[in-house]
């Protein structure tokens, strides 16, 4: 019996990629849709988008942008942005198989979060190197991946 990692390429899920023109068209459509959704929701913001073959990144700026980060009744900070991302992905791409992730950021929160996670990873890496057993709670899979990548790249002995 074949191990899962030995499966032929045809059985592995492919990661969607767009050529530069498709990516730009999708980013423009996503930007326009998000701007309209936020306007209809009463937010005073502007939306910028950039295209990448692996993802579409939308940046929301304006006086109401911080309101998009507020969790409601214990919801995570990014719950609203993640909901908009999922909705846009379904609206922009006809075929879910061809869809690349749509990442929405407000007031550079995600960038600041990655910087904080790198600092945390460095601190945790130093403690692990000193022989301290660590457990970190309250991280979603994206945050855990960012910490793991930073620790793997920065600490070869941890």
Residue 58 burial (10 A CB sphere; 0-12, 13-18, 19+): buried
Q: What is the pLDDT along the chain (158 residues), one digit of tens a residue?
A: 444 455 455 554 556 677 888 889 999 999 999 999 999 999 999 999 998 878 899 999 999 998 888 766 656 677 888 889 999 999 998 877 768 889 999 999 888 888 988 898 888 888 878 888 877 777 777 777 888 788 788 877 65
Q: What is the pLDDT of residue 141?
A: 74
Instruction: Give, in order, the Cα–Cα distances in Å from 58 to each of 15, 88, 142.
Output: 20, 11, 17
Q: What is the pLDDT of residue 69?
A: 87
Is the Cβ–Cβ distance between 35 and 47 less than 8 Å?
yes
Residue 62 burial (10 A CB sphere; 0-12, 13-18, 19+): middle
Q: What is the pLDDT of residue 3?
A: 47
């Amino acid at each position: 019996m074949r191990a899962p990692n030995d499966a032929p390429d045809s059985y592995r899920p492919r990661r969607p990629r767009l050529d530069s023109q498709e990516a730009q068209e999708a980013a423009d459509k996503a930007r326009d849709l998000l701007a309209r959704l936020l306007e209809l929701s009463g937010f005073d913001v502007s939306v910028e988008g950039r295209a990448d073959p692996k993802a579409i990144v939308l940046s929301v700026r304006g006086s109401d942008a911080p309101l998009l980060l507020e969790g409601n009744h214990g919801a995570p900070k990014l719950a609203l942005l993640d909901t908009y991302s999922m909705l846009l992905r379904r609206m922009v791409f006809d075929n879910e198989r061809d869809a690349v992730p749509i990442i929405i950021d407000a007031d550079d929160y995600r960038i600041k979060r990655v910087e904080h996670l790198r600092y945390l990873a460095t601190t945790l890496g130093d403690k692990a190197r000193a022989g301290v057993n660590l457990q970190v709670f309250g991280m979603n899979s994206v945050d855990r991946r960012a910490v793991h990548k930073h620790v793997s790249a920065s600490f070869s002995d941890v």
